[in-house]
Amino acid sequence: MVSRLGCGLKLAQEIPVSDITPQTLATLISQREFSITDLNNTSASQHLSEAVKSIQPLRFILPKNNFGLSPVIIARNKIDELFVDQQEKKVYRTIWVHDFEHWIKKDRGLPFVNPRSGMLPPKIARSMVNLVPGDPSGKLLIDPFCGSGRILVEAAQLGYKVVGTDLILSQVEAAQANLKFLDLPGEIFVHDATHLSEKFTNIDCIVTEPFMGKPNLRPDQVDYAVRGLGKLYLGCLKDWYKALKPGGFIVMVFPILTGLKREYSTSSVIDAVKNIGYNQLTRVTYARPEARVRREIIVLQKNNKNL
């Protein structure tokens, strides 16, 4: 289940213990190596590990921080990883780490990878698809700004029937090649996202990261660019209302751009579309610490009045 979610890196389970001593911790180790992270004071991990080693003479690896060891180290070695919370008197054991090879392959190993076109990290694409409520099997999911097809890949792997469109032929060809590389079905063609309803009606869901402005916008250009993006998004949301089935969902990225004196959010168009007949269900913000553009991910539902 956690693999399917996409956003998880590591999962630890609480182990019931009567007390936290080196002796009790030693009984929890059965692999060739172990690692103990003191959650309240990482620098105390070494002392604790040495005390356990005096009982269980095995190699230990020290954590760098209270996240413990990296998933790569855990997956490549046979290690019992324990976390100790002395204050709460709890011990946890790592029981799952993400399949980093799977995600790296999708991040960097696809035939078409172009960071300048604003490629979505695959784990974020997977999480966006997961924000659509309900069972994916056989439902129609469209990404009208599909770029190299990151969202389509994740949606097809989860069981959606996928369609992608993009204004630029080379992007359409990239998305087609990426899906084909992973042996995934999908229909992808050149089309303007603001006219989706000319081709489709009764869509179950739209999941998309739209055009977010030219790469390397100067801060003094942001104010003007954001007004243009607002018009584009509003046009799309009005058109997609006609293309979606009643109760259908939109999961869409709204960029937050940094201008000369302040940040500009593009999600204010949501207030305008609420009158058209969408309800906002969820809003989350995603950004890497060093990112120039932050992303608000918003889930809208078309109202059910036509049902």
Ligand X SMILES: C[S@@+](CC[C@H](N)C(=O)[O-])C[C@H]1O[C@@H](n2cnc3c(N)ncnc32)[C@H](O)[C@@H]1O
Binding site for ligand X (CB under 6 A): 117-120, 144-145, 147-148, 150-151, 165-168, 171, 192-194, 209-212
The nearer residue to ligand X, 166 or 296, going by C-beta atoms, is: 166
Provide the H-helix boundaries in 191-252: 222-243
Q: Among all chains, which residue has been given the structure tokens 């109760």?
A: 247
How far is residue 41 from each of residues 18, 154, 240, measured CA to CA in Å?
Answer: 21, 39, 52
**Residue 281 CB, nearest approach to ligand X (Å):** 21
Cβ nearer to ligand X, comparing 72 with 168: 168
In 3-state terms, what secondary structure has residue 134?
A: coil
Cβ at position 279, least distance to ligand X in Å: 24
Half-sphere exposure (Cβ direction) of 131: Cα atoms closer than 13 Å = 26
Enter the tokens of residue 115: 């960071």
Q: How many CB atoms lie within 10 A of CB 66?
A: 14
Beta carbon of residue 283, minimum distance to ligand X (angstroms, whole number): 19
Cα angle: 108, vertex 109, 111; to 5 degrees: 110
Q: How far is the CB of 132 from ligand X (least distance, A)?
A: 16
Rounded to the nearest whole angstrom, what is the least distance from the CB of residue 238 to ligand X in the complex? 14
Nearer to ligand X, 83 or 103 (CB): 103
- Helices (H), ranges, the chain: 2-5, 22-27, 45-53, 71-76, 100-108, 122-130, 150-157, 169-181, 222-243, 269-274
Nearest residue to ligand X, using CB? 147
Shortest gap between Cβ of 37 and ligand X (angstroms)? 35
* Amino acid identity for residue 58 in this structure: L
Pairing of strands 293-302, 244-258: antiparallel
Closest separation between CB of residue 145 and ligand X, Å?
4
Which CB, 94 or 208, lies closer to ligand X? Answer: 208
CB atoms closer than 10 angstroms to residue 108: 10
- Residue among 9, 60, 65 at smallest CA distance from 35: 60
Instruction: Choose between 71 and 149: whose C-beta lies nearer to ligand X.
Output: 149
Cβ count near 65 (within 10 Å): 8
Nearer to ligand X, 203 or 212 (CB): 212
Q: Which of 97, 96, 155 is closest to 122 using CA atoms?
A: 155
Q: Please, which residue, 38 or 209, has the CB nearer to ligand X?
A: 209
Q: In the complex with ligand X, which residue's Cβ is closer, 119 or 203?
A: 119
| Shortest Å, Cβ 7 to ligand X | 16
Helix (H/G/I), strand (E/B), else coil: 256:
strand
